[in-house]
Amino acid sequence: MAIKTIGVLTSGGDAPGMNAAIRAVVRTAIHNGINVKGIMRGYAGLLQEEIVDMESTSVSEIIHRGGTILYTARCQEFTTAEGQKKGAEICKKHGIDGVVVIGGDGSFKGAGKLSALGINTIGIPGTIDLDIACTDYTIGFDTAVNTAMDAIDKVRDTSTSHERCSIIEVMGRNAGYIALWCGFANGAEDVLLPERYDGNEQALIDRIIENRKRGKKHHIIINAEGIGHSVSMAKRIEAATGIETRATILGYMQRGGAPTCMDRVYASIMGDKAVELLLAGKSNRLVAYKNGDFVDFDIQEALAMKKDISEDQFRICKLLVR
Ligand code: ADP
Ligand code: F6P
């Protein structure tokens, strides 16, 4: 049966570029004669039937804006079998026979459930953390890492002037991609990644003292959120080294702001691809960018894949700081 109406929702943590993906979903669908409904506030809005008709003009003036015009939420009820059944029934009631879910791994688990209940569902990876295994690109990472890089440059200026040590905490609860990329881009003396950090603070302190003896004016430590404790770490480092040490937690500023060109373009392509998959009668697929191509994976296979920080990149990052 040909698809007549699709829904689109954003779920989990927001990411700059989600609006570009929504815009592409809406406009590609309309171009192909398909109706589009915006499902507000992720699965929570689905269960509350917060569903609105979308026209081409509903997505005007959003490509350059961070956040998501559909809002986003986390929804415990949708993790239950009853919640999922209710969600599928609400889709059917509103004539929605395909759904595009823009979010992270948790959101894709939900998308897989909707698909199993007969609603053709396609996922698009949207998270600043870059921690979705099947794809080399996730919507929002490029913007977030550029935001963090700019902020760290600024902290570096004042850190150098005062000859201080600075611990700068970037987002990434389980994944250190933002930390690693900033490590490279900001030339940080130390990068602490959740995937690698062994908790050896003494080694860190020894390096700070050694660098100061060699005449280094600052010592920048990029610490991933997953390791955390930046403020107490700064106090311990100052006590052990005698060097003034300050902590800066960048926090949610990394999730906002105008998306970079890359996030606007890739998110737009992914939005188009998601609708193309629905038009081809596909379901339970995840749009991905792998080895230079836009491709798609089975959702369960994608969720079973593992991803890790490149050991080689981590080595190079550390090697380049002298
Ligand atoms: P992300 O999508 O960014 O990983 P979450 O893990 O918070 O964010 O997931 C977003 C939402 O996806 C959850 O609030 C919930 O509604 C839904 N979800 C998460 N896990 C499951 C699951 N196992 N089954 C169904 N829905 C889920
Ligand atoms: O979406 C990714 C992320 O920014 C993580 O790095 C962070 O741990 C998490 O979201 C925080 O999300 P929230 O505070 O909105 O639950």
**For residue range 22-78, what is the model confidence (pLDDT) as tens digits?**
999 999 999 999 999 999 999 999 999 999 999 999 999 999 999 999 999 999 999
pLDDT at residue number 1? 72
Q: Give the three-state DSSP class for 102.
A: strand
**Taking Cα atoms as reference points, which of 104, 42, 87 lies closest to residue 68?**
42
pLDDT of residue 322: 76
What does the DSSP 8-state code read for residue 77? G
Enter the DSSP assignment of 66.
Answer: -
pLDDT band at 232 (very low <50, low <70, confident <90, very high): very high
What's the rounded Cα separation, in Å, for the pair 258 and 242? 40
Domain boundaries, the chain: 5-140+259-304, 142-256
Q: Name the one residue in this structure whose structure tokens are 């698909």.
A: 115
What pLDDT does residue 203 have? Answer: 93
Three-state SS at 321: coil
pLDDT number for residue 246:
97
Take residue 166 and report the two structure tokens written for it: 């600075």
pLDDT tens digits, one per residue of 93-134: 999 999 999 999 999 999 999 999 999 999 999 999 999 999
Joined tokens for residue 272 = 């188009």
State residue 142 phi and psi, 5-degree precision: -60, -45
How many whole angstroms separate alpha carbon 271 and alpha carbon 253?
Answer: 25
| For ligand 1, mutation pick of 9, 10, 11, 99 (most atoms within 8 Å of CB) | 11
What are the E-state strand segments in 157-303?
A: 165-170, 190-192, 219-224, 245-249, 285-290, 293-298
5-140+259-304 and 142-256 in the same fold: yes
Tens digits of per-residue pLDDT, 173-211? 999 999 999 999 999 999 999 999 999 999 999 999 999
Are 288 and 295 in contact by the 8 Å Cβ rule? The answer is: yes
Mutate to test the pocket of ligand 1, among 40, 70, 78 (most ligand atoms within 8 A of CB): 78
Report whether pLDDT(321) > 90: no
User: In angstroms, rounded to a whole number, what is the distance separating the alpha carbons of residues 287 and 196?
Assistant: 29
Q: Is 165 annotated as a binding residue?
A: no
**Distance separating alpha carbons of residues 161 and 235, to the nearest angstrom:** 20
- Structure token digits, residue 226: 């997953």
CA 39 to each of CA 5, 43, 89, 285: distance values in angstroms, whole numbers, following the listed order? 12, 8, 14, 19
pLDDT of residue 183: 97
Which ligand 2 atom is nearest residue 140's CA?
1
Residue 292 phi/psi, 5° resolution? Answer: 85, 5
| Active site (annotated) includes residue 129 | yes
The fold of 142-256 is: Rossmann fold (3.40.50)
CATH number of 5-140+259-304: 3.40.50.450
Instruction: Give strand pairing partners of 246.
Output: 166
* Residue 64 burial by Cβ neighbours in a 10 Å radius (0-12, 13-18, 19+): exposed
Is residue 27 packed enough to be buried (19+ CB in 10 Å), middle (13-18) or exposed (0-12)?
A: buried
Q: Which ligand is nearest to the CA of 147?
A: 2
Catalytic member of 129, 131, 142, 190: 129
pLDDT band at 2 (very low <50, low <70, confident <90, very high): confident
105: CA distance to ligand 1 center in Å?
Answer: 7
117 lines ligand 1 (CB under 6 A): no
pLDDT of residue 9: 98
Kindly state the average pLDDT of the residues 293-315. 96
Mean pLDDT value of segment 128-149 = 98
Mean pLDDT of the 127-145 span: 98
Per-residue pLDDT band at 286 (split at 50, 70, 90): very high
